[in-house]
Amino acid sequence: METNNQEYRISFFKPSNPQTTANRNMVLWLLLIWTVAIFGFHVVLKLIEEPTPEPILLSYQEVSQNVYQGNASLNEMQTFAKVPLQVLSKVFIVPEERIELQNALNWAIFQIADDEEKDALKAEIANFKAIEEKTTDILAQDYQQAKIELMAVAAPMLGLSDRDVRTKILPLELNTEYPQNMSEENIAQLETVLNKYLIHNESVLTNMTVLGFPFHYFYTAVFLLILFVVLCWIYCVRTDVLNKKYGIDD
């Protein structure tokens, strides 16, 4: 009984015959490739990444001091106002952060406007808001009309051309309620939001392109899946060969 008890032991790491040894070695090799391909690559991606600001964040940093001290040129004010507008044009912004960005944008555009322009802008915003509230169809004539009129008043103040994506977004982000001045707190909150949305983890792996893709995206979304199928294929072919060699019929 005692001797019997010593037999029939299975352990993946201690194979008992040439066939199980061959199988273990193959499985370990495949696992190694699998692990390195998935996790190894992402560790490398993490290690070499550099937090990289979008160009628009750099232009914010260039002009912001002058803007907050009240001695910015028109050009600098316009550059400043475009920054929150550009972030607002992105697809996913948390609602509370949207308010911070809108505050900065509206503060800036009303700084730019002279008294006459201010009244015109306020009137157009009020007109658009009133229609926007009622409308259920964004294709409705009066809604589109009010939007275009507001755009025509506001876009030139920021020096935005008709062919700028942000021009189309601008009317939706304007508001007559905005802070009269940007307090330290406002500024700090705005900069937190800007840093969150305008700094990205880039590296040589993300900036290279392959077949139109950013390389790392191609690697994960396309190549890894191909690799998985190939690994499975290799395993099956090799197992068939090994089984034949050791005369195993399954």
Q: Which of 3, 5, 71, 180 binds other proteins (CB under 8 A)?
A: 5
The C-alpha R_g of the chain, in whole angstroms, comes to 31
Distances in Å between the Cα of 74 and the Cα atoms of 63, 158, 165, 171, 219 are 11, 9, 21, 20, 45
How many residues belong to the site for other proteins (CB under 8 A)? 72
Which 202-221 residues touch other proteins, going by CB under 8 A? Answer: 202, 206, 209-214, 216-218, 220-221
Instruction: Tally Cβ neighbours within 10 Å of residue 69.
Output: 8
Distance separating the N- and C-terminal Cα atoms of the chain: 31
Q: Is 54 in the site for other proteins (CB under 8 A)?
A: yes
Which 78-107 residues touch other proteins, going by CB under 8 A? Answer: 86, 88-92
H-type helices in 91-200, by residue range?
95-112, 115-134, 141-157, 165-173, 184-198
Q: Which of 58, 62, 65, 228 binds other proteins (CB under 8 A)?
A: 228
The smaller minimum CB distance to other proteins, of residues 76 and 164, is found at 164
Which 172-201 residues touch other proteins, going by CB under 8 A? Answer: 172-173, 195-197, 199-201
Distances in Å between the Cα of 17 and the Cα atoms of 3, 4, 9, 59 are 19, 18, 12, 68
The smaller minimum CB distance to other proteins, of residues 64 and 206, is found at 206
The smaller minimum CB distance to other proteins, of residues 134 and 163, is found at 163
213, β-bridge pairs: 210
Q: Is 60 in the site for other proteins (CB under 8 A)?
A: no
Distances in Å between the Cα of 5 and the Cα atoms of 8, 16, 211 are 8, 16, 60
The smaller minimum CB distance to other proteins, of residues 4 and 181, is found at 4
The smaller minimum CB distance to other proteins, of residues 184 and 250, is found at 250
**Least separation in angstroms between CB 74 and other proteins:** 23
**Least separation in angstroms between CB 49 and other proteins:** 7
Q: Is 32 in the site for other proteins (CB under 8 A)?
A: no
Instruction: Tally Cβ neighbours within 10 Å of residue 14.
Output: 10
210, β-bridge pairs: 213
State both tokens at 66.
């002058």
**Least separation in angstroms between CB 71 and other proteins:** 29
Which 109-168 residues touch other proteins, going by CB under 8 A? Answer: 138-139, 163-166, 168
